[in-house]
Amino acid sequence: MKEVLNRRTVTVAVCIFLAGMGFSIIMPILPYYADAFDASAFQVGLLMAVYALCQLIFSPWWGALSDRVGRKPIIILGLLGYAITFIWFAFADSLVMLFIARALGGVLACAALPTAMASMADLSSEEDRGRAMGLAGASIGMGMIFGPALGGLLSSVSLGFPFLVAGLLALANAIAVIFFLEEPLPAERRSPKLKKQQTLFLRGLRTPIALFLVVMFLASTSETTHQGVFALYAKGLLDIDSVRIGWAFTVAGLVSALAQMMLIGPLLARWREEKVIGVGLAFIVLAFLLYTHATGFLQLIIFMGIYALGIALVRPSLNAAASRRTTMEQGQTMGTLQSFESLGRVIGPCVGGILLDVALPLPYYWAAAVAAIALLALCIKGDLRAVTAEEGAQR
């Protein structure tokens, strides 16, 4: 792990951490936004989905642009966009303003994450790629720890205050990147021209990483169905307040971060990425089925830990698999991967909100079914064998 940890990778990891925190900070506050702006569960889902829709459209373009002009300026632009739009979100006084701020945030903030993921690939050797992506995944996991905890605790000041704090942290991180991050992509390795955005999204389906793009889409749909409805589900089922909902997400983030720091490197050295992804998807299916039988807050916490373990295995393994086997540039690869993830983030919260308005357990049956389809696709098309000694040496 020492080979992976240095000033540049740590700086990039902080950017990824902020991206995870920015998405998750809204989760424990959702039911109270719904009450404050008279929004239905479907409208709350849309509030999450509009951010992801903008990421879907713009992530490949930002990733490809970073292949041409370098990673550092795109990361800075993304962090500044993140800061401005979150501060705007904090002072919004209507549901329309929330949607506008969230949409603009999706356009700008999504420049940071795929570019930061591509930077991790730039800064790591082939044999350290799995550990580097594990560090990136752990950073997202840590963001998922602090985001909900921050959202839950600071919401006692006001509903907008957590977003103001997140925006100011992003601004501080942008300043840190300006002064402390050396450009990860040398000029001689940059792409000479910018490819069309539509080509990037479709091109990935004609490359060796097509399976991973599809699995990312399905896993993201399942995951964000849960993220979009959990607060409303827990409130409706057990009348849980925002602070306890925040701590539930915090437990998930802690489990995810620890698993990615301690398990991903050894598992990817022993198993192929497909096998690690498959085990993670099985945990996710199990967790969502268990949610439908929860009768108390402690059970929800335990089931959240099982879900978080699954996500911890799936995400960095997908990133590592795509990074290793791509025939595209790293920026394009990570931007395209995030686009498929964002497509899931559009569909998951919207469908989850619709189903939650019908009956409480329905979103979790849907989420379990989608994750099971991803697992089935992996079993049919993936290579689930263990890594051989020769392949392990090459890694």
The tens digit of pLDDT for each residue in 303-312 reads: 999 999 999 8
pLDDT of 317 over the 70 cut: yes
User: Mean pLDDT lowest for which of 18-22, 245-249, 324-328?
Assistant: 18-22
pLDDT of 394 over the 90 cut: no
The tens digit of pLDDT for each residue in 381-391 reads: 876 666 654 55
**Rounded to whole angstroms, how far apart are CA atoms 143 and 250?**
9
Instruction: Check: CB of residue 119 under 8 Å from CB of residue 245.
Output: no
Instruction: Check: CB of residue 264 under 8 Å from CB of residue 278.
Output: no
Closest Cα partner for 121 from 182, 175, 71?
A: 71
- Integer CA distances (angstroms), 112 to 53, 106, 151, 162, 241, in order: 16, 11, 21, 20, 32
Q: Which two tokens stand for residue 381?
A: 């098309």
User: pTM to 2 decimals?
Assistant: 0.74
* Residue count of the chain: 395
**Rounded to whole angstroms, how far apart are CA atoms 27 and 22?**
10
pLDDT at 53: 83
Torsion of CA 31, 32, 38, 42, to 10 degrees: -20
The tens digit of pLDDT for each residue in 142-193 reads: 776 777 777 877 877 887 888 888 888 888 888 888 888 888 777 777 766 6
Cβ contacts of 92-95, under 8 Å, gap ≥ 24: 92/160, 94/37, 95/37, 95/38, 95/39, 95/43
pLDDT at 367: 97
User: Mean pLDDT lowest for which of 57-61, 186-190, 233-237, 343-347?
Assistant: 186-190
End-to-end CA distance of the chain: 14
The tens digit of pLDDT for each residue in 105-115 reads: 888 877 887 78
Instruction: Check: CB of residue 110 under 8 Å from CB of residue 338.
Output: yes
pLDDT of 6 over the 90 cut: no
Task: Specify burial of residue 388 (Cβ count, 10 A radius: 0-12, 13-18, 19+).
Answer: exposed
**Rounded to whole angstroms, how far apart are CA atoms 236 and 378?**
35
The tens digit of pLDDT for each residue in 337-348 reads: 877 887 888 899
Mean pLDDT of the region 256-271: 83
